[in-house]
A and B are shown apart, each in its own frame.
Chain A
Amino acid sequence: MLMLQTLLSLAVALSPEEHLKRYDALMGPEKFEAVMVMVAHRDDDTTRTYQMKILKLGDDKVRIWFNAPASAKGQEMLRQGDNLWMYMPNIKKAVRLASRDNFQGGDFNNADVLRANLTKDFSVKLKDGAPPAGQVILDCAAKTPDASYDRIILWLDEKTSMPLKGEYYAASGKLLRSATFSDVKDFHGFKRPSRISMRNELATKRFSELAFVDYNLKVDPPPTKFVLDDLGR
């Protein structure tokens, strides 16, 4: 009991930086392979479903293969450091993209999916005011122009640093997107939210849901998978 209390007090005493590191470890571990489904909900109440596989290695190497819909099949994305590329199979060319461009016309931006580690791009402090019980609110300010947003406010579980919701702001202070993280699942012994719902606050009828079908940390991706020449192969 005493040991449990000690552990709890340690958790409570975590600094904002430590919370953010734990968030990064949950949302963008060092290496993993995952299968994701994104459903984009449009203004006209129609939806579009994208299926993809994502592979990550280290801090800054990510690759995505799109499998559906048919119009996106064969498309690939690659993150190499600060550079993002989109490979189009019909023209056999890769086009450089910006972190803040929309991810496949949905309501996530590219960095939300391919640049999920916030510690490198943001300085963090606790948000002023009292958080709801059992939660901690992080106020993250961009420290590099390549950061996905200018400011992010994250609501985390105080004990696990598991994200609950997020708000994503432009430099002007305008709220661009808001996210909710839900359905914590155990993927081969690794627990994390399996569903992220991102609402476009500029076009409030639009939102996109990203669901993780599988998430596997026990992979050893070769670095050769993260070079431009490998796109399309």
Chain B
Amino acid sequence: MRGVWQLVRIALRNVVRNRRRSAITLVALGMAVCVLVFLRGAVNGLQAVLKERVIYGQTGVVQIHKRGFIANVKKSPLHFGFPAGPAMLAKVRAVEGVQAVTPRVAFATMVSVKDTTLFALGLGIDPVLEYDVCPQRRNDLSPGSTVSGGAADGLGVTTPELRDQLALKRGDELTLLAPDFDGTLNGGLVGVGGFLADNPAFSADKKLIFVPLAAAQALVRLDEQATELAVRSADPDAADALKQRLEAALGPGFEVHTWRELAKFAVDALSTQEKALGFVTGIFALVALFGILNTMLMIVLARTKEIGTMMAVGVRRRSILGLVVSEAAILGGLGAILGGALGVCAVLLAAKVGLSIKPPGATLPDIVRPFVSLAFVARAVIGAMIGAAIAAVYPAYRASRMTPIEALGAL
């Protein structure tokens, strides 16, 4: 133990002795770790925005459907309508972990104004309950827009694409023509209560109309029924446990799906981001370790005489190897601590200011607030130390294989 401590002391002295070379190595390693920590923070922030948009803007934490809904994607969702009155909602609310539940009716419709008729996807939402489950939906509305009213006096909102193609303005009256659950066409009138904000970042459905639930139920003749219930819980990461509790409470007639199962595109996006970050991390680690390798080779070369002298006075080869490796580990550790601290500062600053990032397909940027866990920073520091030590094994081996006569004679 005493020998190891002595080795570390000598290694530390060596780091301090050649300040310039050590400083350059520390800065290089520190920058690499700093960038990695910041990137991790930015990706964390971006993923949080994506998850929030999906969970609190579209799917809820889990959704309840009549059994067979997901497996029969080609069928009209109206084939899977089920009673969703107060009794059903109360039954769902009684399940542990459920904070809020809202009924929805999804349907295909023709939207007509004057002589123009377009196909669109419709979603009937409860004008009050919907925002308890998906509060982000409010942010998706352009200022002053509202989904409100009932079957006779409903106001709906459309996507900007539908607005532009039908030349809609607030207050217009839309005629909806949709097949009911039985395939027979039915008509309905809905006022234009506004439009979705021009930010279709995570909505693939460009022609979309939201109408009050009662208006949708009347249009498709599904009174007091829904095609899905969206549920909110306190912890989206515990969606699987909530799914099991809901399935047990509702019985075999229903199926429950988590947001991860419903929003495959979001899960794919998260996975792609992780892979990209992993690739960048690998590149940074490789460059940093080659830097350490180079530095340690130079150090060994510069200290050939010194190593020869140490060997001449009886220092063992194993100790020489340990000395070089320790020196690299200390350099790696110091650089990583420095870089990690700088990275955390950068993440905190960016979180305070907010990064404006425009996801692909979006017309408006999202404000991303990066964050990083201390565990990740600790892993980065320990990883850098171990990596630096591994990178120094070859130079250390070369140093330990010198003979005193060769080493002393090299100068």
- Chain A contacts for B180, CB-based, 8 A: 71
Taking a contact as CB atoms under 8 Å apart, the answer to whether B74 and A71 are in contact is: no
Say whether A105 contacts B179, CB under 8 Å: yes
Which A-chain residue is minimally distant from B221 (CB atoms)? A71
The CA-CA distance from A202 to B311 in the complex, in Å, is 84
A75, A86, A105: the one within 8 Å of B183 (CB): A105
Residue of B110, B183, B187 touching A91 (CB-CB under 8 A)? B187
For B355, list chain A residues within 8 Å (CB): none
Known contacts A43-B75, A95-B112; A106/B117 CB under 8 A: no
Task: Check A95 against B175 for contact (C-beta < 8 Å).
Answer: yes
Report chain A residues within 8 Å CB of B182.
48, 69, 71, 105
| A143 adjacent to chain B (CB < 8 Å) | no
Q: Is B351 an interface residue (CB 8 A)?
A: no
The answer to whether residues A91 and B189 also contact, given A97-B110, A97-B117, A203-B74 and a CB cut-off of 8 A, is yes
- Chain B hits for A44, CB < 8 A: 79
> How far does the Cβ of B376 sit from chain A's closest Cβ, in whole Å?
50
The interface residues of chain A lying within 8 Å CB-to-CB of B187 are 88, 90-91, 93, 95
Which residues of chain A from 81 to 106 have any CB-CB distance to chain B below 8 Å in the complex? 86, 88, 90-91, 93, 95-98, 101, 104-106
Q: Point out the residues of chain A lying under 8 angstroms from B221, CB to CB.
A: 71
Interface check B184, CB cutoff 8 A: yes
User: Are B184 and A96 in contact, CB atoms less than 8 angstroms apart?
Assistant: no
Instruction: Take A71-B182, A105-B179, A106-B183 as given contacts and tell me if A95 and B117 are in contact as well, using a CB distance cutoff of 8 Å.
Output: yes
Q: What's the nearest-Cβ distance from chain B to residue A84, in Å?
A: 10
- Cβ of B177 and Cβ of A71 under 8 Å apart? no
Size band of the interface chain B makes with A = 20 to 34
Chain A residues with Cβ below 8 Å from B117 are 95-98
Q: Does B188 belong to the interface (CB within 8 Å)?
A: yes
Q: Does B235 touch A at the CB level, under 8 Å?
A: no
Q: Which of A93, A98, A101, A104 contacts B175 (CB 8 A)?
A: A93
B185: Cβ under 8 A from any A Cβ: yes
Q: Contact check, B177 vs A95: say whether CB atoms are below 8 A apart.
A: yes
Task: Annotate B176-203 by CB proximity to A: 1 below 8 A, 0 otherwise.
Answer: 0101101111111100000000000000
CB–CB B186/A86 < 8 A = no
**Residue of B179, B186, B187 with most chain A CB atoms under a 10 A cut-off:** B187
Task: Scan A192-216; emit 1 where CB is below 8 A from any B CB, else 0.
Answer: 0000000000010000000000000
Task: Determine whether A40 belongs to the interface, using a CB cutoff of 8 Å to chain B.
Answer: yes
CA distance A219 to B340 in the complex (A): 90
- State whether B183 touches A48 (Cβ < 8 A): yes
Picked from B74, B115, B177, B189, the residue with its CB within 8 Å of the CB of A86 is B177
Q: Nearest chain B CB to A199's CB is how many angstroms away? A: 16
Looking at the assembled complex, report how far the CB atom of B259 sits from the nearest CB atom of chain A, in whole angstroms: 29
Contact of B185 among A40, A96, A98, A104 (CB under 8 A): A104
Partner of A42, one of B74, B183, B184: B183
Contact string, B73-87, partner A, CB cutoff 8 A, digits 1/0?
Answer: 011000100000000
When the two chains form the complex, which single residue of B110, B112, B116, B184 contacts A104, counting CB atoms closer than 8 Å?
B184
Pair B185/A48 contact, Cβ less than 8 Å: no
Contact with B along A39-62 (1 / 0, CB 8 A): 010111000101000000000000
Tell me the complex Cα distance, A189–B177, Å: 40
Chain B residues with CB below 8 A from A90, complex form:
186-188
Question: What's the least CB distance linking A6 to chain B, in Å?
Answer: 51
Q: Which residues of A contact B112 (CB under 8 A)?
A: 95-96
- Distance from B72 Cβ to chain A, minimum over Cβ atoms (Å): 9
Q: Complex Cα distance A90/B152, Å?
A: 11
Q: Closest approach, in angstroms, between the C-beta of A77 and any C-beta of chain B?
A: 10
CA distance A98 to B115 in the complex (A): 11
Whether A72 sits at the interface, judged by CB under 8 Å, is: yes
A115 to chain B, nearest CB (A): 17
Chain B 308-356 residues near chain A, CB threshold 8 A? none
Residue of A with least CB distance to B180: A71
Please, how many angstroms separate the alpha-carbon atoms of A85 and B191 in the complex? 21
* A48 partner residues in chain B, CB cutoff 8 A: 182-184
- B188 CB to nearest A CB, Å: 7
Residues of A within 8 A of B188 (CB): 90-91
Chain A residues with CB under 8 A of B177: 86, 88, 95, 97
Per-residue CB contact flags for chain A residues 100-126 toward chain B (1 = under 8 Å, else 0) read 010011100000000000000000000
| Known A72-B184, A95-B177, A105-B182; 5 more pairs at CB < 8 Å | A48-B182, A71-B221, A72-B185, A90-B187, A91-B175
27 A-B residue pairings within 8 Å (CB atoms): A42-B183, A44-B79, A48-B184, A69-B182, A71-B180, A71-B182, A72-B185, A86-B177, A86-B185, A88-B175, A88-B185, A88-B187, A90-B187, A90-B188, A91-B175, A91-B188, A93-B175, A95-B187, A97-B110, A97-B177, A104-B184, A104-B185, A105-B182, A105-B183, A105-B184, A106-B183, A203-B74
Interface positions of A (Cβ within 8 A of B): 40, 42-44, 48, 50, 69, 71-72, 75, 86, 88, 90-91, 93, 95-98, 101, 104-106, 203
